[in-house]
Structure 1
């Protein structure tokens, strides 16, 4: 009987640890947020490299902390990378042109009290916000690509 209690405790402890150290989490506000093992700058570099390797185009890399510094203000390291692939975005824009406000995709990388975070808005929320129909394959590809690219950047 004692062995079963130990096994149940071990299983419960393992589950708790796995939940607590989850690499990725989808927040209620539609964000998918992951922890990165490296700095904001290095994570952004890795994301840009992964995007380019995947054949997508990087449109912008915005260093928000540098912007704050330019007005003598302080801001923790924070970089936004905007990128896209017309093969994925065009079907969505054909279905709903207003989605162009949210595309190309943007990924934010920031220092959260010494821990680097990388996050983006879940494409499912974009689809729901604009009530887009007829672009399911593009959304599936976009969701998979964002997951893989941010995984590569956060390693």
Structure 2
């Protein structure tokens, strides 16, 4: 390779490395972060952060416990459902079908020894349900999900 091509290759590789080095990644409209804590500890931190923020936790679903109940194995996996009517109501008023995806859901799971924290990008939710007129609610939702999952994953 020529020096110019080597430099171009190195720059491209460095850009890709920097883009994937962070703990946040978008995949299939998901935002996924890494946590150094266990699934249970991460879920506990998320629940505490949600409650501290004044939102309501509606459910905590332990998928691995469900698997154990039928004598099956499943890596640790917990779903936290939570919301705030001040944020969700304008979205539901604009598109009632968005109720299938609300309240918000955050999945916390073990992936080969790495705890992951993931949720649907609010922009994808907006597009999926063709919501118009609730831009502020989606902006607030995106900010809240980002902050809450940052707290849980630290």
Q: Residue in 2 aligned with 1:47?
A: 46
Structure 1 residue runs without a partner (length 5+): 1-9
Query: How many pairs align?
Result: 147
Q: Residue in 1 aligned with 2:32?
A: 33
Q: Does 1:23 align with 2:23?
A: yes
1:82-102 Cα deviation digits (max 9, x unpaired): 000000000000001111111
Separation in 1 of the partners of 2:115 and 2:24? Answer: 13
Separation in 2 of the partners of 1:128 and 1:12? Answer: 31
Change (3 A) 1:96 1:34: same
Give 1:15 shift: 4.9
Q: Residue in 2 aligned with 1:6?
A: none
TM-score between the two structures when normalised by the length of structure 2 = 0.89
Change (3 A) 1:128 1:13: closer
- What is the RMSD of the two structures over their aligned residues, measured on CA atoms? 1.8
Q: Which structure 1 residue ranges, 4+ long, deviate > 4 Å from structure 2?
A: 10-17
